Amino acid sequence: MIRKYFWRMAMGAALCGSLAVQAQATEKLVAGIAGQASPMTWPFTIAMEKGFLAKHGIEFDLIYAPSAASVLQQLVGGSVDLVASTGINEPIHAAAKGAPVGILRILGRVPPYSILAQPSIHSLKELKGKTVAIGGLVDISRLYFDRMLIPNGVKWGEYDPIVIGATTGRMAALKSGAVAATMLLPPYSFQAEAQGFNDIGLAVDYASDLPFSAAVLSIPWATKHQALAKGILSAFDDGLAWFNDKANRDEAIKILMTRLSMSEADVSRSYDLLHKINFFAPDDKVSRATLRHIITDMKAIGDYEEEVSIDKLTIPGVTEVVD
């Protein structure tokens, strides 16, 4: 009996010690996102809910920044450990200006935007001479606008752009009648369509070669914490594989609805759209050719001046770069 007692005590102590080690091993990372909660980070949301991050000893504390530029500034300043999602052009800007940041992974391989217009407008060519809300005069949404409008006979300078950075703000401008059209992300694009606005074009039909978003890390931090950086990649890949399994559709929709104040119908349509356009990059390989391509388009609109080596846009020893 005495032996059993001490054996149980020893096992209990060992279990407590094991649990303590596990608790200490969990690293809480502050993950910044440009904008608001959206379907564009669905695999990360799944990774949080299904324990894929926890499997690598990682926990995310999400914060949302008002703009892509501000969340990159917070990364450089050390206020966030990871930019979980931002426009693909932002880390290119930052690195070109000497900031020690690099692309961990391309998330959105194509743009998910739609252009929504007033009920009286039925085509992209009708935007000539109209007031249009865009995200920035030289930002990523401008690239997509040019790709969509130029083939339809509308060049830069032939419409009146006003800058409204966030999708929610652009939707408000559309609803108020202040603009003839704007570019919206799902599920806001579906909400606008349901309210009588016309979907006159999907960006992926014109810009399937231009990526949309990326996860970004501080290079010094990633170099020091390579296991964590690779754990983030692995957790995203697990979340993406789970998202891509159509058997998980209903649960995936419920998971995102816990973070979005949106109807089930809007979230469901977002799920179906992202699958239809193969939105998420299928693996964590970053193509030099893809980065050169986006830089070429950025230069064309005056969004890129400083030259930087392609290899300096990624994270040595962590990001897998291919030609």
Please tell me the predicted confidence (pLDDT) of residue 304.
Answer: 77
CB neighbours of residue 307 within 10 Å: 8
In order of start, what are the domains of the chain with their CATH numbers?
A: 9-110+210-322 (3.40.190.10), 114-205 (3.40.190.10)
Please tell me the predicted confidence (pLDDT) of residue 67.
Answer: 79
* b/e code 223-234 from CB counts within 10 Å (16+ = b): bebeebbbbbbb
Please tell me the predicted confidence (pLDDT) of residue 19.
Answer: 41
Please tell me the predicted confidence (pLDDT) of residue 61.
Answer: 94
CA distance 135 to 25: 41
Helices vs strands, H then E, count in the chain: 12, 12
Please tell me the predicted confidence (pLDDT) of residue 140.
Answer: 87
Cis peptide before 187 (omega within 30 of 0): yes
Please tell me the predicted confidence (pLDDT) of residue 244.
Answer: 97
Long-range CB contacts for residues 189-194, cutoff 8 Å, separation at least 24: 189/113, 189/114, 189/116, 190/265, 190/266, 190/269, 190/270, 191/262, 191/266, 192/116, 193/116
Q: Could you report how far apart the first and last alpha carbons of the chain are, in Å?
A: 68
For the chain, list residues with pLDDT below 70: 1-24
Residue type, 149: L
Residue 36's SS3 state is coil
CA distance 63 to 83: 10
Please tell me the predicted confidence (pLDDT) of residue 260.
Answer: 83
Please tell me the predicted confidence (pLDDT) of residue 96.
Answer: 87
**In sequence order, what E strands does the chain have?**
27-34, 58-65, 82-87, 101-106, 114-117, 131-134, 160-163, 181-184, 198-202, 213-218, 285-287, 320-322
Please tell me the predicted confidence (pLDDT) of residue 6.
Answer: 36
Phi/psi-derived region of residue 288, left when phi > 0, alpha when psi is between -120 and 50, beta in every other case: alpha
Residue 93, beta-bridge partner list: none
pTM value? 0.88
